[in-house]
Structure 1
């Protein structure tokens, strides 16, 4: 019995390591093309930067729109046919798509390729469902924190590598991204086991569950899940204040150039990674999911207020640790949602959550960028360059009230911390990954969200 248990644990650790590498490589491939995609667009349209800015924003919207549409489809497919095949097909599709983008001579094909990238990148929801399959409930917050580290590694390293490769050829980063995705496919084909046994799969594929709005109906069937999903959406929406205004705001208010922006974003990534990869694991067995959420959200509010109201750069920098400590709230909120959904619906849950994040990505950049433009213009009702960050803070205040309500009405089993120290145990089991520092990116595709 002990031998069988050890074998199962070993298989699960290997599977988790693959999912970690999958997410990291996919984010690395995504991040590599960030510095060069706008320049390739300029090249394909004949050198007009103004037109390129319009097209770049359209590329970003298309990417998030395709994630919004396709995430629940992939989640439902994974509930019906298993996680492994969906993840592998997505990795292979990304690899082929990057090759097409690397060789395309026309803008419309590059635009189409970006849409396909959004479709394939929707597999992140399936990766989260895979984790929910193989990790016990009491250990999931730490596991999702580790996945946040994988996001961060890819995002921090990717743009730097892409900028370096772009000096040699503007299309070289696309080829490297293709190689990473195809290597990931090969690795998974030979290593990744299936996490969802046939007896736990749904009996048929239901299109009412696969469309993005139908998938959101699932959230309403579970009242606490619906409340935490609202918190998740508000957190993602607030994050787009960074994506859409960080570069322009710091240039306008503090005179920062690309180098200063790059250094501060690296600092954000490092601090966020320490929170996700270390603090979440250390604090989970001591405080539990509920307390971590209610600690993280106010800290995040403080960070955004520092960003929005600081008149000097050094005060702005003081907000970074507060903002990153706000990352304590994300993994436990996600873990609580997985604990309250049936095992055969984990794929639908993660697809619905990814759709919510994508929906925030469709509307968030326009909301915050236009507010920033309005409040620095001659027609501003008040001169408040940091209005986007102030609004983000207010959104998280609302999120904190919703989270508090959901926690107070939760089943007692989920409202308390787990006495068995599950998160610490997971950290020990996954010790090769424990030193990893990074986070799900705060500013995602800067080139796509900035004019």
Structure 2
């Protein structure tokens, strides 16, 4: 454990904690704020569901392009330089609602949040994972990724607690302050180096690579400096990367289906609970608090114990199985206490992300960590486009006054099916032995 927590990793954990707490703090309140702005005094609002789904889809569309680009650039220019962008832009929408939650300001928040989410959704997580991969050895990587998820879960708990006991008037200003502090802390304290232990020697925007062009004076082709940041991985690069091994191909499909499930849950679960059991901000916060506490205990205590004993593919399958069962139970929830009980299942369901990312991390070299994590996040963002387009109309239809048949939780049952598909695929994944190209970097070995 001590070897995992080098100075750079500690500062990374603090950065992730502050930024995650700021993002989570507003989640219990945003549903009520949206409903109050669009449909005052009502517990069911199709417009709110459709707008939330539309925002989620647009954000995912932008993230599909931005996340692989940012991950790829971080392999060349370092994680810190690229981490600054998503953390900085995420402050803006929080500041808007901190100023006012009236309808016009809500629409301004909605537009700005949609744009900034294209940059911030997924990029912070993929850069944090790549940073950990740079600084941990192969055998410690699953535990390190689990600890990162545990830090996120702890931030989830703290942010939810703050939201639970703060008045809505104070939630958004405090969240904006947390976000600013996290960005400043990262810029001051987080150590940065290139993958493989090389120090950064040039700013990103001044790096130049040759591009050949004709010169009129002698007819020869001479290099003309071109900004290197214009380069990004093409679709063919991404396809080639994931086709390089069976495990990577399966992991890409699993990431997509788990992303569809997660996106569908984001688009539907809160509106389902509000319509079905009349949940408000405090009840949303209580539910998230139980989930966050379970996830924190799991990632900080349970996963470090299980990771050395069980392989990542087994932990992945276990998490997907429990997640599927929990979503089926939520879809037929018969009493208000059922969702609270189901959230305890997150003790196991949170195994999914760190196990999958650790498996993939071990299949590529040290100079491809940002690229592969960015591509996985891009695939997840692609799923975020599909999910709301499917589940927002489905949720609105079955929560309306005239559904095709009486089953308010039908959309949640469909989400469970996507998790089951991912489970079947995960059973086909077998951890392959590390090749010579998968050895940890010298810096990672020394600090891990």
Using structure 1 for the length normalisation, give the TM-score: 0.75
Indicate the residue corresponding to 1:374 in structure 2.
397
Give the corresponding residue for 1:18.
11
Unaligned runs of 5+ in 2: 201-206, 210-227, 436-444
Residue in structure 2 matched with residue 192 of structure 1 by the alignment: 191
- 2:330–2:409 contact (8 Å) kept in structure 1: yes
Q: Tell which deviates more after alignment, 94-103 or 148-157.
A: 94-103
Q: 1:66 aligned to 2:62? A: yes
Q: Deviations over 1:63-113 (max 9, x none)?
A: 443333211111111011122322245444545775577669967764564
**Deviation digits for residues 22-61 of structure 1 (CA, Å, limit 9, x no counterpart):** 2111112223444666788899999999877766555444
Aligned counterpart, 1:344: 367
Aligned residue pairs, count: 405
The aligned runs of 1:261-300 (5 Å cut-off) are 261-300=284-323
Select between 106-115 and 150-159 the one with higher mean Cα deviation. Answer: 106-115
Instruction: Say whether the 8 Å CA contact 2:319–2:352 is kept in structure 1.
Output: yes
The residue aligned with 1:327 is 350
Q: Where does 1:23-102 land on structure 2 (aligned, <5 Å)?
A: 23-34=16-27, 58-95=54-91
> Equivalent of 1:228, from 209, 230, 251?
251
Alpha-carbon distance between aligned partners in 2 of 1:11 and 1:281, rounded to the nearest angstrom: 11
The structure having more radius of gyration, on CA atoms, is 2
The answer to whether the 8 Å contact 1:137/1:339 transfers is yes
Whole-Å separation in 1 of the counterparts to 2:283 and 2:34: 25
Contact 1:296 1:325 in 2 (8 A): yes
C-alpha distance in structure 2 between counterparts of 1:182 and 1:199, whole Å: 24
Residue pair 2:93, 2:109 contacting (<8 A) in 1 also: no
What CA distance in whole angstroms lies between the structure 2 residues aligned with 1:382 and 1:47? 28
| Residues 45, 177 of structure 1: alpha-carbon distance in 2 compared, 3 angstrom cutoff | farther
- Aligned-pair CA distance for 1:397: 1.8
Q: 1:277 to 1:12 in 2, by over 3 A?
A: closer
Distance of 1:171 and 1:332 partners within structure 2 = 33
- Out of 264-273 and 93-102, give the one that drifted further: 93-102
Task: Summarize the Cα distance change of 1:139–1:197 in structure 2 as closer, same or farther, 3 Å threshold.
Answer: closer
Pairwise CA RMSD: 3.9
Give me the whole-angstrom Cα distance separating, in 2, the residues matched to 1:383 and 1:110. 35
2:154 alignment counterpart: 153
Measured in 1, the distance between the counterparts of 2:37 and 2:338 equals: 42
Matches of 1:172 and 1:145, distance apart in 2: 31
- Inter-CA distance 60–155: structure 2 relative to 1 (3 Å threshold): farther
Relative distance call for 1:158 and 1:107 in structure 2 (3 A) is same
1:402 lines up with 2:403 in the alignment: no
Quick check: 1:116 aligned with 2:116?
yes
Q: Is 1:142 equivalent to 2:131 in the alignment?
A: no
Q: 1:411 aligns with which of 402, 410, 432?
A: 432
Matched, 1:391 2:414: yes
**Alpha-carbon deviation of 1:194?**
1.9
Structure 2 Cα separation of the partners of residues 52 and 250 of structure 1: 14
Which SS does the other structure have where 2:355 is aligned?
helix
Could you tell me whether the CA contact under 8 Å between 2:54 and 2:388 is conserved in 1? no
Q: 1:119 to 1:381 in 2, by over 3 A?
A: same
**CA distance 1:220–1:44, shift in 2 (3 Å):** same
**What are the residue-to-residue correspondences of 1:227-266 with 2, within 5 Å?**
227-266=250-289
Partner of 1:285, secondary structure, is: coil
CA gap of 1:293–1:35, structure 2 versus 1, over 3 A, is closer
Would you say the 8 A contact 1:209–1:348 is kept in 2?
no
Q: Which runs of 5+ in 1 are unaligned?
A: 1-8, 415-425, 431-451
What SS is found at the alignment partner of 1:130?
helix
| Structure 1 position 180, deviation (Å) | 2.1
Q: Tell me the alpha carbon deviations over residues 227-273 of structure 1, each in whole angstroms, 9 at most, x when there is no partner.
A: 11211221222123432222232344445444333222211111122
390-399 vs 379-388, greater mean Cα deviation:
379-388
- What is the alpha-carbon distance in structure 2 between the residues aligned to residue 46 and residue 312 of structure 1? 26
